[in-house]
C-alpha cells in the first residue's frame, strides 16, 4: 500500500523519515540521531511532546468514554472544555462549535457567518473579504479565502470568489509606504471594499497579527485594530482565524488579546489540545448564536462531523489549559521571545537576509534568492541541510522560521540559530 504524504512530491522529495518516539522538544528517528523539533510539528506542540499530564488525561478518558455522537448528546469533557475555554477567551466569545482541525474550524466560521445573515432575511450578505497572502486551510471554503498561490492553482474552479484586501506586509508594502512613517495606509483597500460592497458582505476573515503559511508575515497591531474598527463601523462580522496564533504563540493567549480587540467569531485548533489530538473549535458571540435560535428549523446550523467534540480530544484540551494554569507557561513564552530578539540582532545587516520578523515565540528570516516563493529551491536545500544538522526546520520557500514548543531551553534555541547561520552559506 502506498502512503500519500501531505505537501510531499512522491518523486522529488526525499523518503519520509520514520519517527519512533518523541519527548520534550526532541523527535527520535528509528536508528538515527535525535532531532530538535523547531517547528512544533507543524505548529501544534505546545508544552513538549509526550507531556505526561496530557498523555494521562487521554488514557484516563479512553477507559471511560472514547466517543459518542454529539448531535442530541453531550458529555463531561466537552462541557468542561467549553467552560475552561470561556475563561481563557475574550469575554464576548461565549458560544462554541467543535469540529476536527483548523480547516474545519474555518469552514464552520464561514458557514456560520453567511447563515447568520440569511437567517435574518439578508441572504444578499453572503460575500467574504479576505487578505492577500492569507492561508486558512486546505478544504474548499478555506482554500477560497486563502490567497491565490501554488497551493490553490489547480483548484481555481472549486474556489468561490472573494474580495481581497491588502495585508500589512510591511517588507513589501502594497501601497509603497514605509512602516516608520505610514499611518497603516494599506487599510484603505478594505475601507473601499466595505464602502462599495458593505451591504453584501457577511464577514472579513483574517489571521490576526501573523500570517503563517503565507510567509510568517507579522502585522502591526494597529492594522488589526483598524480592521476591527472598520468591520464594526460597516456592520460586518469579523472572523479571527487563531488556528496558528492561539494559545500563546504571539505572547498572549490569543493574538486578538495583544491588539485589545474582540472578533465576532474565532477559529481555534493546532495548540488547542497541546498538539496531542486533532480538534477544532469555532467560537462566537451570543449575538451570532442567537440568529440560529428561533422557531424555524431551517435556521439550524447544518454542519457536523462524525468526531465532533471527541471526548479524548476534549480531555487533551482540558489538560492543555490546566498546564497553562499550573505551570509558568507565559514565563517560558516571554523567555523565548527575548532570546529571539537577542539572536535576530546578528542578522540585521547580513547580506543573505532581506527581512527579519518576530512576534512572541515566532521568528522568521526572509532570505534573498532569485526564486522567492514557496517553491524556491533554496527552501528544499536548507530543509535537507537542517535535518543533517539535527534540527527540524521547514522553510516556507525562502522564509526560514522558528516556532518551537514552549518547553525549549535557551541552549536549544541558540543551537537552532547556529545551524540557521551556517545554512545562510547556501544563499
Ligand atoms: C491560520 C491557519 N488556519 C487554518 C489552518 C488549517 O489547519 P489544519 O491544517 O489543521 O486544517 C492553518 C494551518 O496551518 C493555519 O495556519
The verdict on pTM exceeding 0.95 is: yes
According to DSSP, the residues that pair with 353 across neighbouring strands are 367
pLDDT in tens, 150-191: 999 999 999 999 999 999 999 999 999 999 899 999 999 999
CB distance 386 to 392 below 8 Å: yes
pLDDT in tens, 191-206: 999 999 999 999 999 9
Q: Please give the number of the atom of ligand 1 that sits closest to the Cα of 137.
A: 6
With CA atoms as reference, report the closest residue to 142 among 158, 154, 126. Answer: 158
Q: Please give the number of the atom of ligand 1 that sits closest to the Cα of 270.
A: 10
**Most informative mutation of 108, 137, 255 for ligand 1 (most atoms within 8 A of CB):** 137
- Going from the Cα of 327 to the center of ligand 1, the distance in angstroms, rounded, reads 27
Query: What does R_g of the chain's alpha carbons equal in angstroms?
Result: 21
What pLDDT score was predicted for residue 373?
86
CA–CA separation, 76 vs 88, rounded Å? 18
Residues with a catalytic annotation lie at 7, 135, 241, 270
CA–CA separation, 7 vs 28, rounded Å? 22
What pLDDT score was predicted for residue 392?
98
What pLDDT score was predicted for residue 20?
98
Which of the residues in the chain have pLDDT under 70? Answer: none
Which residue owns the Cα nearest ligand 1 atom 7? Answer: 102
- Going from the Cα of 42 to the center of ligand 1, the distance in angstroms, rounded, reads 9
CA–CA separation, 210 vs 218, rounded Å? 5
- Going from the Cα of 300 to the center of ligand 1, the distance in angstroms, rounded, reads 26
SS3 98: strand
In the chain, the domains with their CATH numbers are 19-51+328-426 (3.90.1150.10), 56-326 (3.40.640.10)
Percentage of the chain modeled with pLDDT above 90: 97
With CA atoms as reference, report the closest residue to 320 among 257, 269, 359, 360. Answer: 269
Q: Show the ligand 1 pocket: residues with CB < 6 angstroms.
A: 101-103, 106, 135-137, 207, 212-213, 241, 243-244, 269
- Going from the Cα of 110 to the center of ligand 1, the distance in angstroms, rounded, reads 14
CA–CA separation, 394 vs 68, rounded Å? 37
Amino acid at each position: 500500500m502506498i502512503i500519500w504524504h501531505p505537501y510531499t512530491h512522491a518523486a522529488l522529495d526525499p523518503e519520509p523519515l520514520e519517527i519512533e518516539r518523541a519527548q520534550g522538544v526532541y523527535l527520535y528517528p528509528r536508528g538515527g540521531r535525535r532531532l530538535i523539533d523547531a517547528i512544533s510539528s507543524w505548529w501544534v506542540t505546545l508544552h513538549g511532546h509526550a507531556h505526561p499530564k496530557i498523555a494521562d488525561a487521554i488514557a484516563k478518558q479512553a477507559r471511560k468514554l472514547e466517543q459518542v455522537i454529539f448531535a442530541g448528546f453531550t458529555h463531561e469533557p466537552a462541557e468542561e472544555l467549553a467552560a475552561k475555554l470561556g475563561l481563557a477567551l475574550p469575554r464576548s466569545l461565549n458560544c462554541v462549535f467543535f469540529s476536527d482541525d483548523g480547516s474545519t474550524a474555518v469552514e464552520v466560521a464561514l458557514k456560520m457567518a453567511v447563515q447568520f445573515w440569511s437567517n435574518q432575511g439578508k441572504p444578499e450578505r453572503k460575500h467574504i473579504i479576505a487578505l492577500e497572502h492569507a492561508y486558512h486551510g486546505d478544504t474548499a471554503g478555506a482554500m477560497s479565502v486563502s490567497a491565490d498561490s501554488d497551493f490553490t492553482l489547480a483548484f481555481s474552479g472549486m474556489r468561490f470568489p472573494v474580495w481581497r484586501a491588502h495585508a500589512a506586509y510591511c517588507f513589501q508594502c502594497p501601497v509603497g509606504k514605509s512602516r516608520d512613517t505610514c499611518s497603516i495606509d494599506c487599510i484603505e483597500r478594505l475601507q473601499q471594499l466595505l464602502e462599495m460592497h458593505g451591504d453584501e458582505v457577511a464577514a472579513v476573515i483574517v489571521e490576526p497579527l501573523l500570517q503563517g503559511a503565507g510567509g510568517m508575515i507579522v502585522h502591526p497591531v494597529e492594522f488589526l485594530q483598524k480592521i476591527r474598527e472598520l468591520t464594526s463601523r460597516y456592520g460586518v462580522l469579523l472572523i479571527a482565524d487563531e488556528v496558528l496564533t492561539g494559545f500563546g504563540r504571539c505572547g498572549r493567549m490569543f493574538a486578538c488579546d495583544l491588539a485589545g480587540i474582540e472578533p465576532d467569531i474565532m477559529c481555534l485548533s493546532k495548540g488547542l489540545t497541546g498538539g496531542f489530538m486533532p480538534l477544532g473549535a469555532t467560537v462566537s458571540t451570543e449575538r451570532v448564536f442567537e440568529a440560529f435560535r428561533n422557531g424555524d428549523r431551517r435556521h439550524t446550523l447544518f454542519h457536523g462531523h462524525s468526531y465532533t467534540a471527541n471526548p479524548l480530544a476534549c480531555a487533551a484540551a482540558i489538560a492543555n489549559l490546566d498546564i497553562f494554569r499550573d505551570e509558568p507557561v507565559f514565563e517560558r513564552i516571554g523567555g523565548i521571545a527575548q532570546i529571539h530578539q537577542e539572536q535576530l540582532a546578528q542578522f540585521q545587516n547580513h547580506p543573505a537576509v532581506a527581512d527579519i520578523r518576530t512576534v512572541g515565540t515566532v521568528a522568521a528570516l526572509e532570505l534573498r534568492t532569485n526564486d522567492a516563493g514557496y517553491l524556491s529551491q533554496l527552501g528544499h536545500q536548507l530543509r535537507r541541510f537542517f535535518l543533517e544538522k539535527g534540527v527540524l526546520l521547514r522553510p516556507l520557500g525562502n522564509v526560514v522560521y522558528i516556532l518551537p514548543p514552549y518547553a525549549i531551553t535557551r541552549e536549544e534555541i541558540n543551537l537552532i540559530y547556529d545551524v540557521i547561520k551556517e545554512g545562510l552559506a547556501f544563499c
